Chain A
Amino acid sequence: MAEKTYPRSVISILVENHYGVLARISSMFNRRSFNIDAITASETIDPGITRITITVHCDQSTLKQMLLQTERLEEVKQVFLLDNNSLQRELLLIKVESDPVKLPALRDIAGVYNAKIIDLSPESLVMELTGKPEKIDGFLKMFGNYNVLEMCRTGITALNRV
């Protein structure tokens, strides 16, 4: 588990789109005892380049080491920290136990957060929400009195504005 007492940092890494490049980065993080909260990877507009976005909670000196050690890897083109003004988004899927009595309240929550109900059965419903990580966190807090059957979130993917 990550040390949540430290602030969240989001690292963006542009790498050559080669076999095993994700393994190289995660292997280095593991070897150096850097804890990853979430990691996403996908092709950029240039198919030769992959963007890896890593979310961490750590102190400043560990963060500095993470950036420098990542930079040392041969296939890494660019490493940078996303600033506070950056656009950070996550996708959440959540399956909640439901029945005709609970359903209206669940619909209300979904409405307030602009979440979509993408599957509905007599016993449960599945909602989809995209947004800033804080919004997802806030949304999840609404289900304290409900039985959450399954949930997954993608981890942060992000871009700087300029």
Chain B
Amino acid sequence: MKLTGSEIFVEVLVEQGVDTLFGYPGGAVLNLYDELYRNQDRIHHYMSAHEQGASHAADGYARATGKTGVVLATSGPGATNLVTGIATAYMDSVPMVAFTGNVGTGGLGKDSFQEAYIEGITMPITKHNYTVRRIEDLADTMREAFRIAQSGRKGPVLVDIPKDISAAVTEFEPKEPVRPEVIDTYDTEQLKKAAELLGSAKRPVIYFGGGVISSEAEEPLKAVMEKADIPATWTLMAKGILDDEDPLNLGLIGMHGKFVSNKAIDSADVILAVGTRFSDRVALNPAKFARSAKIIQFDIDASEVDKNVEVDCSVVGDANVVLRAFLELLPEADHTEWHKQITEWKEKDYRPYDSETALKPHQILQKVCELSGDDSIYVTDVGQHQMWAAQYLTHVKPRHFLTSGGLGTMGYGYGAAIGAQIAKGKEQRVIHLTGDGSFHMNLNEGVTAVSYDLPVITVIFNNQVLGMVRQWQTLLYGKRYSSTDPHRKTNYVKLAEGFGAKGWHCETLQEFEEAFKEALNNPGPSWIECVIDKDEKVLPMIPAGATIEDIILADGKEA
């Protein structure tokens, strides 16, 4: 069967099970878009306001479903606008395939109009990438891209398609969709050693990250915790796995984690790290992280072993497979004394105080959880509101908390929320939590939410300043507020209306409750602006490079 490159593009997408595509058209992808026009019944294309928004939408789609997100952009600026979205997915190991058009093969390297060497640009932020230089290679290159994105440690792959390739004709042979490679091997000797180490611990702690969600290892993880009576702390990427009420749940770890979780790690004698990479926001001081503990690490990526923190025992493999085998080897245990100590620390932990008059971030989030039910998907931007969301949202399920952890991309939220809403359908409640700083970066995606009539509720924590940077300036830079107080005069209600969305402005919890209830009944996009104090801080805080001894538990203002 002879097909054009554009026809092959659509056939391979369908073959790989893709029915949703995010993107933005342009000159170099005209052939591809022409073919998408003819295949609207098979592939739904969602057009964003800006390619960055489309890339975050593909990311949100992937995080919410576990499937590979797909994004398409034109050459040059279209391609470079994807860069932040691809890097965001790369840092958080999100499966994504990005397609870009390019100028024709004859124009490559000639500084042609809208030409960018996107293969070179995205080399360090993709698992792998390709420029398709021969039409005969197109189909199998696309298949390889999907295989790589989903296999092992997941991540983004980019395929650059010059314009003449999408027009050229070649023989096409349909194939079965690629199945991601399942890694079911591991070192049994190391696993035995790990079981002995953890089995003999007096003060054990499990510390886990996003790898547990990627490999769907929630169940064996909880079984290990219960069988050996081990408390666990989690990274930002793993919110939603443990029940809030579970006494073994120590809460968030790291810079803005709980006092108890950081203290427990500091005092533990054995630590089991699963699907996590000892990042500098967790192992703030890598030399002193878990300083009294023997560390065991389970990870799918061998290069993560000993990368940031040296470990005593490691098992390279899929968390789901390894934890199931580990469960069999691990003896039952009881750590009553250790729990007693942990309970004491829990009582000493930071607690925000409620206000009768002012809008407090934790009270907004409690209200959101109370009113929106237990199945909501929460999508954050980056900054203070993101940390508050990680700390105070309750009853969150796995794949229901989407956030840019590794890259820390301000402006991630709206695109990702749109992607999640499209992935799960309009019946799914999707709540986008953002700050006024982050929101201003990509609020243009409001037009996308309006175009597709998506009921995404955006809650804007407006403190008028870049709160997280300002917090550091307050604590570490002598209150010299360099460029964090932009004096913006944005009227969010009018702006929402201007886009064709609905907006609310709230200054009290009562007003917020009323607005949120109305938003829950609004079939289209809603923006709710919450005015909060610019001196609100994210606490606790352990400064970069510091240890539990340096934890800040009280705001000078509140003490």
> Which chain A residues have a beta carbon within 8 Å of chain B's beta carbons?
19-20, 23-24, 27-28, 31, 61, 64-65, 68-69, 71-75
Contact = CB atoms under 8 A, between A and B. Distances in A.
Interface residues of B, number: 16
Interface in B544-558: none
A72 B123 contact: no
B162 to A, nearest CB: 13
B77 interface: no
Given A20-B119, A31-B124, A61-B306, 17 more contacts: A19-B131, A23-B120, A23-B123, A24-B123, A27-B124, A61-B310, A64-B306, A65-B303, A65-B306, A65-B307, A68-B302, A68-B303, A68-B305, A72-B301, A72-B303, A73-B128, A75-B128
A27 B126 CA distance: 12
B311 to A, nearest CB: 12
29 contacts: A19-B131, A19-B133, A20-B119, A20-B120, A20-B123, A23-B120, A23-B123, A24-B123, A27-B123, A27-B124, A28-B124, A31-B124, A61-B306, A61-B310, A64-B306, A65-B306, A65-B307, A68-B302, A68-B303, A68-B305, A69-B303, A71-B302, A71-B303, A72-B303, A73-B128, A74-B127, A74-B128, A74-B148, A75-B128
B113 to A, nearest CB: 23
Contacts of B148: 74
A28 to B, nearest CB: 7
B540 to A, nearest CB: 31
Interface in B120-162: 120, 123-124, 127-128, 131, 133, 148
B297 to A, nearest CB: 13
A150 to B, nearest CB: 32
Interface in B291-328: 301-303, 305-307, 310
A82 B307 CA distance: 22
Interface of B: 119-120, 123-124, 127-128, 131, 133, 148, 301-303, 305-307, 310
Contacts, number: 31
Contacts of A65: 303, 306-307
A71 B301 CA distance: 10
B312 to A, nearest CB: 15
Nearest to B124: A31
Contacts of A24: 123
Contacts of A61: 306, 310
Contacts of A20: 119-120, 123
B344 to A, nearest CB: 37
Contacts of A28: 124
A32 to B, nearest CB: 9
A143 to B, nearest CB: 40
A68 B127 CA distance: 14
A72 B154 CA distance: 12
Contacts of A75: 128
A71 B305 CA distance: 14
A84 B414 CA distance: 56
Closest 4 CB pairs of A and B: A68-B303, A74-B128, A31-B124, A27-B123
A20 B148 CA distance: 18
A72 B302 CA distance: 9
Nearest to A30: B124
A134 to B, nearest CB: 31
